[in-house]
Amino acid sequence: MVLHPAGSQVAFPAGRMKAEHFLKLVKHFAFYVKPSIEGPVLVLLEDHSSHLSIAASVHCKEDGVTVLSFTPHCSHKLQPLYRNVCGPLKTYVNRACDTWIAKHPGEAMAIYDVPSIINRRLNFAAASTDIKAGFLVTVNFSYNRPFFPDAEFLSSDEADRPAPATDAAALNESNWKN
């Protein structure tokens, strides 16, 4: 039996999101947000295979939830809440954890300590002005300016590799050299 802090909802065990967990998360979201066909909501997500579920897609469509997935490895530029809420929240929580550890020498922080730490710091990171500012600095509202500088499209020397050998003799020779 897995115990969870009082009042928390666990969408996926062991840190691995699967399609059935995402459906549970979508239902939880809809219960609290109350989207409808007349009052739809937009959900911005990172691109992840668990979000590609027919059951979740049908549920979202019937409830008036539109899901927009970001291209992989771009959320740091495209996701408004990552830019202005989640990033600062992570900083606030890390500082609060450091403070907790300093005040409780020799004690291990339990999972039950984490929700109260996050809850006390969330108001600092989730101010409506910060949320609005997040949309202004992301590509969602950046139609008239280049958002990714040209340098971000250049190849990396670290990733450059010689072309793979195509004939059997070259493959056998390269295997013996390594």
Lowest mean pLDDT, pick from 63-67, 120-124, 174-178: 174-178
Which tokens sit at 98? 């450091």
pTM higher than 0.75: no
Q: Which domain holds residue 104?
A: 76-147
Instruction: Tell me the pLDDT of the chain averaged across its residues.
Output: 75
Confidence band, pLDDT 50/70/90 cuts, at residue 35: very high
- Shared domain for 55 and 101, answered yes or no, is no
- Shared domain for 134 and 97, answered yes or no, is yes
- Shared domain for 90 and 59, answered yes or no, is no
pLDDT of residue 43: 86
Counting other chains too, the contacts that 10-17 makes at CB distance below 8 Å and 24 or more residues apart are 17/48, 17/50
Per-residue pLDDT of 86-142, as tens digits, reads 788 888 889 999 999 999 999 999 888 888 888 888 877 777 777 777 776 665 555
Domain count of the fold of the chain: 2
- Shared domain for 66 and 101, answered yes or no, is no
Q: Rounded to whole angstroms, what are the CA distances from 55 to 52, 145, 168?
A: 9, 38, 47
